[in-house]
Amino acid sequence: MSILDKRPALAAEIDRVAEVAGYLWEKGWAERNGGNITVNITEFIDKDIEAMPAITEPKEIGFYLPGLEGCYFYCKGTNRRMRDLARKPMENGSIIRILPDCTSYVIIADHDIAPTSELPSHLAVHNHLIERKSPYKACVHTHPIELVALTHNNNWLRRDVATKVLWSMIPETKAFAPKGVGIVPYMPPGSKELAEATIRTIDFDYDVVLWEKHGVFAVDTDVMSAFDQIDVLNKSAQIYIAARNMGFIPDGLSEAQMREISRLFNLPK
């Protein structure tokens, strides 16, 4: 039996995670076990789930995260592939419960599948979102080829250089990734320093954070919306690179044209 049985709302949420995992693999953004997804599923938890016994001993998070007390998360498993998660999400991920001490968690379903090694970073971001009273419930980390390629040139690592160029490639990018992309300089994957730098960048009012020479971390109300922001930003990177490969620097939309898009869509920037 699965925790998803006779729980259509929870099952639909996990199905969305599986769908996005498939897209990440199909786009070539999730080589081997690359990338991670965590989703706050607390709103789908009923009293029977609350009473379910743990199937593991408590595991330390490495952070004190008071905003997560009593929360539940679906997490991609460590060393699990997105292409496998897309087919069998409960065999390649697990549901965890944060314990009252706010420093540890247990796995409750369906199997003892250890969450991603970057779970502490993800949970630190979720804790921050809750403390900010943000409606965001999903974190997606993946490796979009063209966006990562841009970070191998220091000119793209200055604040909002990437945002302005990517917005200017096609109107939809500014409309559907309206806060642009923040930049975090290279730090070891899964490190406390990377988590803290990502939180600081989100606090500068970004939903998508580009990690130098590594990948992208996006937050949004749900996993599909987080994916969509990465998708439109990477499309703009593809357009820019295609133009450069054709032998010219693309003009991009003018400042006046981008201001008009902001007015038309009532955008924050």
Residue pLDDT, tens place only, 237-269: 999 999 999 999 999 999 999 999 999 999 988
Please tell me the predicted confidence (pLDDT) of residue 190.
Answer: 83
Average pLDDT over residues 39-58: 97
Q: DSSP characters for 144-159?
A: -HHHHHHTTSGGGGST
- Decide if pLDDT at 191 tops 90: no
As beta bridge partners, residue 219 has 139
Do 237 and 149 touch, CB atoms closer than 8 A?
yes
Report domain extents, the chain. 1-142, 144-269
State the sign of the Cα–Cα–Cα–Cα dihedral 197, 198, 202, 208. Answer: positive
pLDDT in tens, 87-116: 999 999 999 999 999 999 999 999 999 999
Where does the pLDDT of residue 58 fall: very low under 50, low under 70, confident under 90, or very high at 90 and above?
very high
Please tell me the predicted confidence (pLDDT) of residue 231.
Answer: 98
Please tell me the predicted confidence (pLDDT) of residue 268.
Answer: 85
Whole-number Å distance between alpha carbons of 111 and 74: 12
State the sign of the Cα–Cα–Cα–Cα dihedral 206, 210, 12, 92. Answer: negative
From residue 240, give the alpha-carbon distance in Å to each of 63, 147, 170, 207, 234: 40, 11, 10, 22, 10
* In the chain, % of residues over pLDDT 70: 100
1-142 placed in CATH 3.10.20.340: no
Q: Among the residues of the chain, which ranges form H helices?
A: 8-26, 47-50, 82-87, 119-131, 145-150, 161-169, 171-176, 192-203, 223-245, 255-265
Whole-number Å distance between alpha carbons of 34 and 143: 7
Tokens for 70, please give them: 């009593």
CATH topology of domain 144-269: L-fuculose-1-phosphate Aldolase (3.40.225)
- Decide if pLDDT at 160 tops 90: yes
Whole-number Å distance between alpha carbons of 7 and 145: 37
The residues that are catalytic are 118
Is the whole-model pTM more than 0.85? yes
pLDDT in tens, 136-147: 999 999 999 999
Average pLDDT over residues 182-191: 93
Whole-number Å distance between alpha carbons of 160 and 34: 26
Q: Which residues, in sequence order, are CB contacts of 261 under 8 Å at separation 6+?
A: 171, 174, 175, 253, 267
Q: Which residues, in sequence order, are CB contacts of 241 under 8 Å at separation 6+?
A: 146, 149
Where does the pLDDT of residue 192 fall: very low under 50, low under 70, confident under 90, or very high at 90 and above?
confident
* In the chain, % of residues over pLDDT 90: 95
Same fold, 1-142 and 144-269: yes
Whole-number Å distance between alpha carbons of 215 and 223: 17
Please tell me the predicted confidence (pLDDT) of residue 137.
Answer: 98
Average pLDDT over residues 130-134: 95
Average pLDDT over residues 227-245: 98
Look at the block and give the residue holding tokens 């630190």.
Answer: 124
- Decide if pLDDT at 64 tops 90: yes
Please, what's the b/e burial string for 84-105 (b: 16 or more CB within 10 A of its CB; e: otherwise)? bbbeebbebbbbbbbbeebbeb
245: three-class secondary structure by DSSP? helix
Please tell me the predicted confidence (pLDDT) of residue 44.
Answer: 98
